[in-house]
Amino acid sequence: MGFNKDFLWGGATAANQFEGAYNEDGRGLANVDIIPIGELRRPMMRGQINKTDFIEGYHYPAKEGIDFYHRYKEDIALIAEMGFKAFRLSIAWSRIFPKGDEEAPNEKGLQFYEDVFKECQKYGMEPIVTITHFDIPIHLVEAYGGWRNRKILGFYENHARALFTRYKGLVKYWITFNEINMLFDNPFMSAGIILTEEELEDDHKRRETLYQAAHHQLVASAIAVKTAREVDKEIKVGAMIAATTTYPDTPNPDDVWAAHLLERTGFFLVDVQVRGEYPGYAKKEFERNNFNLHITEEDLKLLKENTVDYLSFSYYLTLVKSADESRTDAKQGNVLTSHPNKYLEKTDWGWNIDPKGFRITLNRLYDRYNIPLFVVENGLGAYDTLDENGMVQDDYRIDFLAKHIEQMKLAVEVDGVDLLGYTTWGCIDLVSAGSGEMAKRYGFIYVDRDNDGNGTLERKKKKSFNWYKKVIESNGEDV
């Protein structure tokens, strides 16, 4: 009963949101470095601003992050104290290939992650490694146009091969692209694409570009799977999506259909990564719109033969969709848009809180794909304050996570979902991807740093630290 003995409890991070040291040891500049906090952030993420360098007067939180680069030993020791079985992190591509198109990797970059993985190994922690978590070397953006260009495939392949080879025996679980479905909303952040005037104005043109870029990422992902199997039979390679369930606003079939269509756009790319071919609805969509896409027979063969071993996903919230386009109550929480759901409470950032939606989402993903799942992000972004004793009493976070873990347990125990593990997002406070804030905190460990970059970077355990330790110790029985 309950979770397997080897269930991978842990936490998750991403290079650009916590490493800092953006220009040390030969690291090249990346797209994510130059996305500032503030009003420019969203339009930049969306590829609406033609800039490939820092702009005077803006604050760039990724430059220093929370300085994991220099503090990784201390941080890994802290999470090991909670009993983590797994630690999800990502590789900063531009540490390994500073420009992206070099022949040989940067030894200092490779060495850094080797040190980190060995530190994990010391505590018996399995690293779960994302090859690209919203990052691409800026040179690949400037010289090639990011993922719109087919040449990127070869650079990604070199990068993946360098990683699999160097970390053979140290890393078993890899993820090819973080939240691959975000590409359509955030082409600059997800794919290093700056949209042209024409693409900004012409919906058809823009979609054509994004489908082509998505195809390149799909083929790159398949090549990574193939390469991994050549290098090391033990490796498991996973796909990753921002998962959610979209509820129809009413039982009106028009709403049900609208919700279905919206939800399917989220599944689209993973349908290919898991099943090995473009689904019927996508082929029809390409045909109907007469998109001029370069998809070769060789590509289709790669997709077919190199499907992923598992599907990982983030789960934060559910959405509500109505067919009525004239309604004005659809709110944008981060990048996802939803009508209100009167049955659910919201976070400080307006994301609805839906533990049961987590069970529903786990089931729908498993029903659809029938391969092992891995929850690699879930959590509550909240404002934390220190009390008079310098403690964060984050009972709201404990409550949020406890309810989600209970639903996850039902999905495993009652519904039979095959689940590899659960890593909470931002186990140590880090920079928010959506907003660039430090004030949106997810961690069990507090980091002294604010939105403007002030603070000592000192680490402190929150109340949730000991709670999560107990959850792991009891293998999810004691929540």
The binder of ligand P53 chosen from 31, 149, 158, 178 (CB under 6 A): 178
Query: Can you list the positions of beta strands (E) in 51-133?
Result: 86-90, 126-132
375 belongs to the binding site for ligand P53 (CB under 6 A): no
Catalytic option among 126, 208, 377, 437: 377
175 belongs to the binding site for ligand P53 (CB under 6 A): no
- How many CB atoms sit inside 10 A of residue 54's CB? 13
Measured CA distances, 195 to 23, 99, 147, 189 (Å): 27, 21, 12, 12
177 belongs to the binding site for ligand P53 (CB under 6 A): no
Spatial separation of the C-alpha atoms in residues 429 and 69, rounded to whole Å: 15
Spatial separation of the C-alpha atoms in residues 381 and 15, rounded to whole Å: 18
Residue 3's closest CA among 406, 466, 337, 457? 406
Q: Is 406 a catalytic residue?
A: no
Contact between 247 and 262 under an 8 Å Cβ cutoff? The reply is: no
The binder of ligand P53 chosen from 146, 238, 266, 381 (CB under 6 A): 381
For the window 386-425, what string marks contact with ligand P53 as x by the rule CB under 6 A? Answer: ---------------------------------------x
Spatial separation of the C-alpha atoms in residues 93 and 90, rounded to whole Å: 9
Between 35 and 336, whose beta carbon lies closer to ligand P53? 336
Least distance (Å) between residue 316 CB and ligand P53: 5
Between 210 and 303, whose beta carbon lies closer to ligand P53? 210
Helix spans in 138-291 (H): 138-144, 152-166, 187-191, 197-201, 203-231, 253-275, 280-289
The binder of ligand P53 chosen from 217, 221, 306, 314 (CB under 6 A): 314
Between 64 and 114, whose beta carbon lies closer to ligand P53? 64
Spatial separation of the C-alpha atoms in residues 191 and 212, rounded to whole Å: 11
Phi first, then psi, for residue 412 (nearest 5°) are: -80, -50
The binder of ligand P53 chosen from 245, 435, 451, 464 (CB under 6 A): 435
The binder of ligand P53 chosen from 147, 316, 358, 400 (CB under 6 A): 316
Q: Which stretch binds ligand P53 (CB under 6 A): 26-34, 72-80, 224-232, 334-342?
A: 334-342
Between 106 and 130, whose beta carbon lies closer to ligand P53? 130
Between 125 and 242, whose beta carbon lies closer to ligand P53? 242
377 belongs to the binding site for ligand P53 (CB under 6 A): yes
242 belongs to the binding site for ligand P53 (CB under 6 A): yes
Least distance (Å) between residue 444 CB and ligand P53: 16
Spatial separation of the C-alpha atoms in residues 32 and 54, rounded to whole Å: 11
Report CA Rg, the chain: 21
What amino acid positions are annotated as catalytic residues?
377
